[in-house]
A and B are shown apart, each in its own frame.
Chain A
Amino acid sequence: MNLLLAGLSHKTAPVEVREQLALPEEALPAALGTLASQPGVAEAFILSTCNRVELAVRAEPDADAAAALAGFLAAHEKFAALQADQYLYRYPQRQAVRHLFRVAASLDSMIVGEPQILGQVKQAYAAAKAVGALGGTLEDVLNRSFHVAKRVRSETGIGQMAVSVSYVAVELARKIFGTLASHTVLIIGSGKMSELAARHLRRSGAAAVFVANRTFDRGVEMAARFEGRAVPFEQLFDYLAHVDIVISSTGAPGFVITRERVQSLMAARRHRPMFLIDIAVPRDIDPGVHKIDNVFLYDIDDLEQVADANRRERAREADRAEAIVEAEVDRMMARLKAHDITPTIVSLQAQLERLRRSEIERARGKLGTLTPEQEQAIEALTRGIVNKIAHTPITQLKSLATHPDGLHLIDIVRRVFNLKDPS
């Protein structure tokens, strides 16, 4: 196996460099063709997103993978112009496998755990497959990376916690109400952030969104953007008695919603829980409201705090994910090693040599004393037989090594000649 990966990502290269080097989808097949046609390259894979460009190749056993990659990069005009070599990381063999696994599992992403990257890797895989640039160990590694990504997703909570403030609002609403299906939202005032949160809530299944704005027409305008309904500001408290989630962001100088007001609403609500989000500065909702049973008030700092806690939780989960990746890399490497032809050829030769020697030892007693010439003749004869037997399997192994069927052939040879797995 002769794997090499070179790439740059948000961790090593500034966005100005990344955007220059990113390959548009339509340019990908040509680039894959160029990379795959470099001397000694058996398989090629290119992943290009806005956050990273990764080039991976598997070279023939005795070819120079680094030279092949350098050849590809030299042919790339922008790369030379940007002096992009300084941003490049290079990972050989095991490190390349680990890097591909980590990328697919979203451990190397800007927002760790974001789910898009796996889809992007799969697309890149399909593109490489389509131009015939895959078909061997590298393809095996990529296939395994999908499995690793799935395992990480299902065995850790890495993608589950909201890390942006507006998603945190949705997550909290879910933690309070369970399903949002029968719950309604009231937006007081206007603002980008409340609109965003309302959109997320609506998409997560909230039954209805009402908008109360002091200027009714502005409310109508805003409500139209997410299938909400504008209500007169004067009826604010009638609606407060019924809605479950309130997002407030008015420009009012004092509290729009006081503790006494909410307290008196609770009996009418039959103590159904209420989730209030105050994103106004100065605040719209009396902080004392949070002390009422079944009422949960979060301001923008609180949401930020939850997002922070979620990020820490994600980091903890990422540690567990790294352990999974490490174990998967070990397994992959063990498999690749077993499938590698060189150790197979070596152990095949060793096995045959052992057989030859033990047979000569057994025959020696019956042959009596031999002259050095006779000794040499037996040596030459047995060696000749063994080499003839080994010749076809070895040439077949060598020629099929680059072919996906090579893996099966290795298995067959190991079984037929009873070779032990290299440890």
Chain B
Amino acid sequence: MAETSVFWLRVTLALYSLGLAHALLTVIRRRQRLFSAALAAFAVAAVFHLVSIVEEGLAAGRFPVSNLHQSSSLIGFLITALFLAIYWRYKYESLAVFIFPIVFLFTLVASLGHPVEPWSSPVARSSWLLVHVVLALLGYAALFLTCVAGVMYLIQERELKSRKPRAFYHRLPPLGALDELGYRTLAVGFVFITLGLVEGSLWAFWEWGTRWIVDQKIVLAFVTWGIYLALIFTRWTLGWRGRKAAYLAIAGFCCAALTWMVNSGAHSFVKR
């Protein structure tokens, strides 16, 4: 990858991170704030992104889709361009909650194609890893509650739909409370796993270069993250809640549990 191209890509990523921050704040606070600032950063980032891709193509002498990192970069850029076009035409603000994190993640993967020197201090390295583990576990804990709230929601919903209340009807909390609990824990959990994911990606990149990206655990983690992003997006834009949201929350946690179990806790490349 060309030196200048990498530089521009990192600038792009820094700007996209504002978009990610905006999305996370929106999820937590349930109100879109600082949207115009995030959007401006996003638009500027799109220009730098294009510059980076063009330079990469010129340096390589062909269309830059020859590896995972290059194609991630291109996909990220295309989504950005498409989003900006849609926004310019239809003003779909709520779409940003979904688009910003996705683009950030693609660009993150793209920018990790060029290895850098690992940190020399072992203390810094191990504490960075510790932070990753703590963030991931906090995220899983919150999402476990989301899953429990989802299961309880489904049971209580069935009781109410059956119109023949049995023991659960009397003993489980109201649907409204369960839905609220589900969303709150989801918001917190999502922020933690997003930070954990970004943090972990950077760590793996510094420590292990580029070969970690095909690790099953990483792939599963990305899939899990995708499910939760979908859960937030469908709620945010379509107002999906209740039963559908509960099913997605349960699926998300199953995937999260699978992610955690693969290689029993640690990534395959760490053992190597």
A residues 310-324 touching B (CB-CB < 8 Å): 310, 313
Would A272 and B239 count as touching, CB distance under 8 A?
yes
Q: Does B243 contact A (CB under 8 A)?
A: yes
Would A302 and B170 count as touching, CB distance under 8 A?
no
Question: Residue of A at shortest CB range from B175?
Answer: A176
Which of A226-234, A293-301, A398-406 sits within the interface?
A: A293-301
The docked-state distance in angstroms from the alpha carbon of A176 to that of B243 is 13
Would A176 and B170 count as touching, CB distance under 8 A?
no
B residues 126-182 touching A (CB-CB < 8 Å): 156, 160-161, 163-166, 169-170, 173-177, 180
Would A273 and B161 count as touching, CB distance under 8 A?
no
The docked-state distance in angstroms from the alpha carbon of A197 to that of B169 is 21
Q: Does B267 contact A (CB under 8 A)?
A: no
Would B174 and A298 count as touching, CB distance under 8 A?
no
The interface residues of chain A lying within 8 Å CB-to-CB of B169 are 175, 309
Q: Does B240 contact A (CB under 8 A)?
A: yes
The interface residues of chain A lying within 8 Å CB-to-CB of B243 are 293-294
Q: Total interface residues on B, using CB and 8 Å?
A: 22
Q: Give the secondary structure class of B's interface.
A: helix
In the complex where A269-B239, A271-B239, A271-B240 touch, is A309 in contact with B175 (Cβ < 8 A)?
A: no
The interface residues of chain B lying within 8 Å CB-to-CB of A160 are 170
Complex partner residue of B176 from A176, A267, A302, CB under 8 angstroms:
A176
Give chain B nearest CB distance to A285 CB in angstroms: 14
Complex partner residue of A271 from B156, B166, B242, CB under 8 angstroms:
B242
The docked-state distance in angstroms from the alpha carbon of A178 to that of B163 is 18
Question: Residue of B at shortest CB range from A160?
Answer: B170
Would B170 and A177 count as touching, CB distance under 8 A?
no
In the complex where A174-B174, A175-B156 touch, is A271 in contact with B241 (Cβ < 8 A)?
A: yes
The interface residues of chain B lying within 8 Å CB-to-CB of A302 are 163
Q: Does B29 contact A (CB under 8 A)?
A: no
In the complex where A175-B156, A290-B161 touch, is A273 in contact with B166 (Cβ < 8 A)?
A: no
Give chain B nearest CB distance to A380 CB in angstroms: 74
Would B239 and A313 count as touching, CB distance under 8 A?
no
Would A175 and B175 count as touching, CB distance under 8 A?
yes
Q: Does B244 contact A (CB under 8 A)?
A: yes
Complex partner residue of A305 from B164, B173, B239, CB under 8 angstroms:
B164
Would B176 and A177 count as touching, CB distance under 8 A?
yes
Interface residues on A, range: 20 to 34
Would B242 and A294 count as touching, CB distance under 8 A?
yes
Contact count A vs B, C-beta below 8 Å: 62
Would B177 and A178 count as touching, CB distance under 8 A?
yes
Complex partner residue of B242 from A174, A175, A293, CB under 8 angstroms:
A293
The interface residues of chain A lying within 8 Å CB-to-CB of B160 are 172, 175-176, 296
In the complex where A271-B241, A309-B164 touch, is A157 in contact with B170 (Cβ < 8 A)?
A: yes
The interface residues of chain B lying within 8 Å CB-to-CB of A161 are 170
The docked-state distance in angstroms from the alpha carbon of A391 to that of B175 is 72
Complex partner residue of B165 from A174, A293, A306, CB under 8 angstroms:
A306
Give chain B nearest CB distance to A277 CB in angstroms: 12
The interface residues of chain B lying within 8 Å CB-to-CB of A175 are 156, 160, 169, 174-175
The interface residues of chain B lying within 8 Å CB-to-CB of A298 are 163
The interface residues of chain B lying within 8 Å CB-to-CB of A176 are 160, 174-176
The docked-state distance in angstroms from the alpha carbon of A294 to that of B165 is 17
In the complex where A175-B174, A175-B175 touch, is A270 in contact with B239 (Cβ < 8 A)?
A: yes
The docked-state distance in angstroms from the alpha carbon of A267 to that of B239 is 8
Give chain B nearest CB distance to A269 CB in angstroms: 7
Q: Which of A269, A271, A272, A298 has the most CB of B within 10 A?
A: A271
Question: Residue of B at shortest CB range from A180?
Answer: B176
The interface residues of chain B lying within 8 Å CB-to-CB of A157 are 170
Q: Does A179 contact B (CB under 8 A)?
A: yes
A residues 157-180 touching B (CB-CB < 8 Å): 157, 160-161, 172, 174-179
Give chain A nearest CB distance to B204 CB in angstroms: 39
Would B176 and A309 count as touching, CB distance under 8 A?
no
In the complex where A270-B239, A293-B243 touch, is A179 in contact with B176 (Cβ < 8 A)?
A: yes
The docked-state distance in angstroms from the alpha carbon of A177 to that of B242 is 12
The interface residues of chain B lying within 8 Å CB-to-CB of A172 are 160
Give chain A nearest CB distance to B180 CB in angstroms: 7
The interface residues of chain A lying within 8 Å CB-to-CB of B175 are 175-178, 273
The docked-state distance in angstroms from the alpha carbon of A359 to that of B123 is 86
The docked-state distance in angstroms from the alpha carbon of A247 to that of B163 is 17
Give chain B nearest CB distance to A316 CB in angstroms: 9
Closest 10 CB pairs of A and B: A270-B239, A178-B176, A178-B174, A178-B177, A177-B176, A302-B163, A271-B239, A294-B242, A175-B174, A309-B165
Query: Interface of B with A (CB < 8 Å)?
Result: 156, 160-161, 163-166, 169-170, 173-177, 180, 238-244
A174-B174, A302-B163, A305-B163 known, 6 other contacts, Cβ within 8 Å: A178-B175, A178-B176, A293-B244, A294-B241, A296-B161, A306-B164
